[in-house]
Amino acid sequence: MKKIFVTGFIITIAALAGCKKQLTTKPIGLLTLDQVNAAPTLNTVETAVSSSYELLSSRLNILAEWDWGGGLVFQNDYILQDIASDDMEKKWSPDGDQPWMDEINNFTFTSTNGGPNGLWKYDYEGIKRINLAISFLTKADIEAITGITTARKNQLLGEAYFLRSYYYFSLVTNFGDVPLILSPVKTYQEAFEVAVRADKNVVWDRIKADLALAKPLLPASKYSSATEKWRVSKGAVIALQAKAALYTQKWNEVITLVTELEALGFYSLNANYFSSFNTSTEFAENEDIFLYDHQSNQTPRRGDGLCAPLDWGFFAPSTDFLNSFEANDPRKLYTVDVPNKNVNKLLGSLNGTFKGNDDAPTNKIYMRMADALLWKAEAYIETSNFPAAIAIINQIRARARNTVTATGGTVPAGTLPDRPASTDKATVKAWLISERRAELGFESQRMLDLKRWGIAKSVMTAHGKAFQDKHYLYPIPQGEIDASAGTLTQNPGY
């Protein structure tokens, strides 16, 4: 079969000088009718789904070769969510390397910055691939054509709907209104027609609709596949449903969905905080809900390339982040070892193993149970059930203080005491905000949290950063606007 997984954003149009008539080359990612095989094989269908996961990985150079300025060397969530926040600095020692990251850090970036550009292209490449997979799997005669079993077809289709919703979740939370593309783009005319931003509420509705489609298609087990445990599961679908409800402030839905997730009986807080990240406990722990399973020495490569820049001095904690931890909180050292300049949580080790390795086995954790429980606590706060919210916060704190420390000891008595009863919403919300920062540091959650809470501007300006109202959304990449002949519009202020 011809190779159809061409890299790039489905809308991007190469060599466009301003109008359709001047097109001399095909839009990057455009699928011609002869390329979309009318009679796909079983291998084609399987590959269409599995390749769609790749854009969630931290493998180096998926879309280009060392295009630093274009933000395409690796996934940019650490730059846009951690470096942009008050948690992370670009490097341990400030220098002039990769100034586009500094622009994200100090909010001087423009619509040509590689951070938003890279995120946009990663997400839409994932959507391009998954739309092709869905088009195959929803063919009325796909079972007769390929010999795929009904059970396998349903599983793959459930995974596909989840993946599309996840990529759109990333787009809508970072850019607001975005093009909503639900089928393969096969003609030049379609490429222009889809380059129109849909209202964010329509995008949220589609995310939730895809998740509703995915849910009954996946098996009622912890893993969708016993041999490929990294695949999307029913639990992952329910978790993303809860997260979508959180971001759209459907508080009662959050509570219901996280309760449903708990009732599955598949997930719980690990006894040791670091087990979620430790490469030696992968798929032998109980907390991780959805992750990208990096594996070393594979052909084609699927290792974690992000461990390489950690040896080049990238990704260091801010002083404010380090000072935000309560005394003796073991999560601090599990997250980052300052004396040795090791970001333990990203390395998946406590001794620097994998630092400098561009093909490491360290998994990328996207959703885990502690995060989901704190969504539920937040929903309880917003519905004035403060005792329930505090109980969850204290559950998270108890796990932290009872976990074996990174040095193999126990924390001193009195560490991370339970929060007392309170009926003051501001107080309990402040406890939640503090707990999320300590629990989820360096997991690409901080800036998204600050923005959805509406406090990003006050927090960033307090740190001397030039955050403006426009920065609640990232700019649509200028190259995409230019390539669409102006059909795509820019976010206000850019």
Q: Which CATH class, in words, describes the domain spanning 20-462?
A: mainly alpha
345, containing H or E segment: helix 344-347
- For residues 65-89, give the mean pLDDT: 97
Residue 100: CA atoms inside 13 Å, Cβ hemisphere, count?
Answer: 19
Output the CA torsion sign for 429, 434, 436, 442.
positive
Angle, helices 200-214 vs 150-175, to 10°: value is 160
As a whole number, the mean pLDDT across the chain is 92
Domain range annotation of the chain: 20-462
pLDDT at residue 9 tops 80: no
Angle, helix 369-382 to helix 251-263, in steps of 10 degrees: 140
Residue 190: the pLDDT is 85
Asked whether the beta carbons of 107 and 468 are under 8 A apart, the reply is yes
Distance CA 63, CA 8 (A): 6
Q: Can you tell me the distance from the alpha carbon of 397 to that of 439, in angstroms, rounded to the nearest whole number?
A: 9
Q: What is the reported pLDDT for 20?
A: 37
How far is residue 127's CA from residue 160's CA, in Å, rounded to a whole number?
Answer: 10
User: Phi first, then psi: what are they for 435, rounded to 5°?
Assistant: -70, -40
The stretch 16-31 carries a mean pLDDT of 38
Higher pLDDT, 120 or 24: 120
Q: What Å distances lie between residue 35 and 128, 138, 156, 302, 387, CA to CA?
A: 14, 18, 21, 26, 58
Mean pLDDT of 328-343: 98
Question: In which band, very low, low, confident or very high, does the pLDDT at 29 lie, cut at 50, 70 and 90?
Answer: very low
What are the beta bridge partners of residue 290?
Answer: 367
**pLDDT tens-digit series, residues 110-124:** 999 999 999 999 999
112-165 per-position pLDDT tens digit: 999 999 999 999 999 999 999 999 999 999 999 999 999 999 999 999 999 999
Six-digit token string for 67 = 């295009």
Q: Which sign does the torsion angle of CA 246, 250, 251, 254 carry?
A: negative
**Residues 98-112 pLDDT 10s:** 999 999 999 999 999
Looking at the DSSP bridge assignments, the partners of residue 292 are 364
Dihedral angle sign, alpha carbons of residues 267, 237, 241, 449: positive
User: Would you state the pLDDT for residue 186?
Assistant: 83
Tens of pLDDT, residues 373-392:
999 999 999 999 999 999 99
Give CA separation, 93 vs 90, 97, 216, in Å.
9, 10, 50
Distance CA 374, CA 396 (A): 8
What is the reported pTM? 0.94
State which amino acid sits at residue 327. A
Sign of CA dihedral 321, 350, 102, 94: positive
Confidence of residue 37 (pLDDT cuts 50, 70, 90): low
Alpha-carbon distance values, 409 to 270, 278, 403, 405 (Å): 17, 18, 9, 5
Sign of CA dihedral 359, 157, 170, 64: positive
pLDDT at 15 over 70: no
Q: DSSP code of 57?
A: S
- pLDDT (mean) for 347-361: 98
